[in-house]
């Protein structure tokens, strides 16, 4: 981490070591149809028409997928506000909706150059909705009603076939994104298991268990979002597969059921005492398919390139994958802690300036304390003593707070016992509950 902060060319500790092709590499590959990628692209006659105003159609469709992802994330954040959201939270959601809606409109303008027929289709559908009274006046409906009309959506419209190259670009971009989502899903499941282990080992008392439970619930929500996005990607790929002519991916990117979203089986985690404890019979024993398909998060010597169950079932692979996930989470937590430390430094500087200002004001009032004439000296002395008594403990309170902050820094920098992979909570190995069961 220190080397990367000093030199950005070093290995980024925030990145997951993965053999999955990055989205940037996919976009670069799609711009050159003469290359030979993992999934060969077929030569199509209208490939030369995919550049408009120095923008390639692959980049244009990638921008549309990004907008789609941002809208889904915004919808999830808006749904999580609840009934008792503050005015600041509501205004933040409204600002994000307005900004994202402007991005949608800008993307629609760019779409006119790449697919004029889609623009005509959108205008016809909006006119039909306006005259049929189907527009609902709910909060945020203006943004969530907008349709990108990507090739996967246009296929269901009659008499409006998308360009073959556009469908090809969207398919490969969604394919790469789906593989990355599987990587993220596995990483979050490993983090979830480790949080259960930390709760069992370190949490004591109602307050600690409540904090640990909320942390696990936050990870569960992230897992549900990733799983939902994977399902959307796969559904779009299913509609595009007939046009593109690709069916081999279905054996790797399988249908993700709620029961498939679960951690590695308990047998993969080092637990010498597991045979002495009675376990619930409803804990899944079989490994979910997500740990066998498209795995690229492990190091090169432990990666499951052949998709073999034998490599996936090794305890060494489980430990390596867990260390990878924990490293990324630790790096993110360290970055947040450093940002908070910067806020503390700014607050201390602000406090120093306040003290300087107060000292100046105190000197100013000290000059004026003898300005009043005709006041009983004993009354003035009593008022001074009362004021000094009210403020005499403030420096001690400030020192107490600074000592507590210093103790926290010392305890965080002290060496701790290495966390093992022994998890006693059976809930760590059950499927992540979906929203309908909450």
pLDDT (0 to 100) of residue 357? 94
pLDDT band at 354 (very low <50, low <70, confident <90, very high): very high
**Domain check: are 191 and 217 in the same one?**
yes
Three-state DSSP class for residue 285? coil
- Rounded CA gap, 429 and 423, in Å? 9
pLDDT (0 to 100) of residue 383? 79
pLDDT band at 319 (very low <50, low <70, confident <90, very high): low
234: CB partners within 8 A, 6+ apart: 178, 253, 255, 256
Report the 10 Å Cβ neighbour count for 330: 12
pLDDT (0 to 100) of residue 409? 78
Q: Is residue 80 part of a domain?
A: yes
* Domain stop point among 118, 144, 160: 160
pLDDT (0 to 100) of residue 328? 74
Q: Is residue 199 part of a domain?
A: yes
* Domain stop point among 121, 137, 160: 160
Q: Residue written as tokens 């789609």?
A: 68
pLDDT digits (tens, 9 = 90+) for 380-402: 788 778 878 888 888 888 889 88
H-type alpha helices, 280-416: 309-312, 315-368, 377-391, 394-413
Q: Is residue 325 part of a domain?
A: yes
**Domain check: are 97 and 231 in the same one?**
no
Q: Residue written as tokens 């010392």?
A: 410
Q: Is 115's pLDDT higher than 60?
A: yes
In angstroms, how far is CA 37 from the centroid of its own chain?
29
Q: Is 46's pLDDT higher than 60?
A: no
- Tokens standing for 196? 């259960």
Report the 10 Å Cβ neighbour count for 2: 8
As for how many domains the chain has, the answer is 2
pLDDT (0 to 100) of residue 318? 52
Lowest mean per-residue pLDDT among 51-55, 110-114, 139-143, 157-161: 139-143
- Rounded CA gap, 178 and 159, in Å? 29
**Domain check: are 7 and 68 in the same one?**
no
Mean pLDDT computed over 327-352? 86
15: CB partners within 8 A, 6+ apart: 328
- Tokens standing for 31? 């711009």
**Domain check: are 151 and 196 in the same one?**
no
Q: Is residue 231 part of a domain?
A: yes
* Percentage of the chain lying above the pLDDT 70 cut: 75
- The pLDDT mean for the chain works out to 78
The residue ranking higher by pLDDT, 326 or 330, is 330
**Domain check: are 278 and 313 in the same one?**
yes
Q: Are 20 and 294 in contact (CB under 8 A)?
A: yes
Q: Are 81 and 90 in contact (CB under 8 A)?
A: yes
Mean pLDDT computed over 405-420? 66
* Percentage of the chain lying above the pLDDT 90 cut: 25
Q: Is residue 41 part of a domain?
A: no
| DSSP codes, 28-50 | HHHT-TTS--SSPPPP-TTGGG-
Q: Is residue 12 part of a domain?
A: yes
Kind and range of the H or E run holding 154 = helix 151-154
pLDDT (0 to 100) of residue 290? 86
- Rounded CA gap, 30 and 48, in Å? 12
Of the candidates 292, 232, 224, 218, the one whose C-alpha atom is nearest the C-alpha of residue 261 is 224
- Tokens standing for 61? 């469709």
**Domain check: are 149 and 268 in the same one?**
no
The residue ranking higher by pLDDT, 75 or 125, is 75
Extract long-range pairs of 249-253: CB within 8 Å, 24+ residues apart.
249/39, 249/175, 252/293, 252/294, 252/307, 253/175, 253/178, 253/179, 253/182, 253/293, 253/294
- Rounded CA gap, 289 and 308, in Å? 11
Burial bucket for residue 188 (CB in 10 Å: 0-12, 13-18, 19+)? buried
Lowest mean per-residue pLDDT among 69-78, 216-225, 269-278: 269-278
Q: Is 104's pLDDT higher than 50?
A: yes
What range does the domain containing 18 cover?
Answer: 1-34+163-365+424-438
Q: Are 262 and 286 in contact (CB under 8 A)?
A: no
């Amino acid at each position: 981490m220190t080397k990367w902060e000093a030199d950005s060319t070093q290995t980024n500790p925030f990145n997951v070591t993965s053999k999955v092709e990055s989205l940037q590499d996919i976009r670069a590959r799609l711009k050159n149809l003469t290359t030979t990628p993992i999934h060969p692209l077929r030569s199509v006659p209208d490939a030369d028409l995919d550049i408009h105003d120095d923008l390639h159609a692959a980049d244009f469709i990638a921008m549309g997928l990004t907008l789609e992802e941002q809208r889904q994330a915004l919808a999830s954040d808006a749904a999580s506000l609840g009934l008792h959201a503050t005015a600041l939270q509501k205004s933040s959601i409204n600002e994000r909706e307005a900004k994202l809606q402007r991005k949608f409109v800008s993307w629609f303008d760019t779409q006119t150059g790449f697919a004029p027929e889609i623009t005509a289709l959108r205008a016809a559908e909006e006119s039909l909705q306006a005259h049929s009274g189907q527009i609902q006046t709910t909060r945020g409906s203006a943004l969530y009603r907008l349709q990108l009309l990507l090739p996967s959506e246009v296929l269901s419209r009659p008499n409006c076939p998308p360009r073959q190259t556009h469908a090809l670009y969207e398919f490969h971009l969604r394919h790469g994104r789906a593989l990355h989502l599987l990587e993220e899903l596995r990483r979050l499941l490993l983090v979830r298991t480790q949080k259960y282990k930390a709760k069992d080992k370190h949490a004591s008392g109602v307050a600690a268990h409540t904090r640990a439970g909320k942390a696990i619930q936050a990870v569960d929500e992230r897992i549900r979002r990733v799983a939902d996005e994977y399902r959307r990607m796969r559904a779009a790929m299913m509609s595009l597969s007939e046009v593109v002519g690709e069916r081999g991916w279905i054996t790797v990117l399988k249908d993700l059921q709620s029961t498939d979203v679960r951690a590695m089986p308990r047998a993969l985690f080092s637990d010498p005492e597991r045979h002495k404890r009675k376990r619930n019979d409803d804990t899944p024993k079989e490994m979910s398919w997500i740990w066998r398909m498209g795995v690229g998060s492990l190091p090169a010597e432990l990666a499951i390139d052949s998709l073999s169950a034998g490599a996936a079932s090794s305890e060494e692979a489980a430990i390596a994958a867990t260390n990878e996930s924990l490293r990324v989470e630790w790096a993110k937590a360290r970055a947040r802690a450093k940002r908070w430390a910067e806020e503390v430094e700014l607050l201390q500087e602000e406090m120093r300036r306040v003290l300087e200002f107060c000292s100046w004001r105190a000197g100013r009032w000290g000059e004026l304390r003898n300005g009043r004439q005709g006041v009983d000296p004993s009354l003035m002395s009593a008022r001074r003593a009362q004021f000094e008594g009210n403020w005499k403990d403030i420096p001690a309170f400030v020192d107490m707070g600074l000592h507590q902050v210093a103790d926290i820094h010392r305890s965080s920098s002290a060496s701790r016992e290495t966390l093992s992979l022994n998890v006693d909570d059976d809930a760590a190995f059950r499927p992540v509950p979906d929203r309908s069961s909450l």
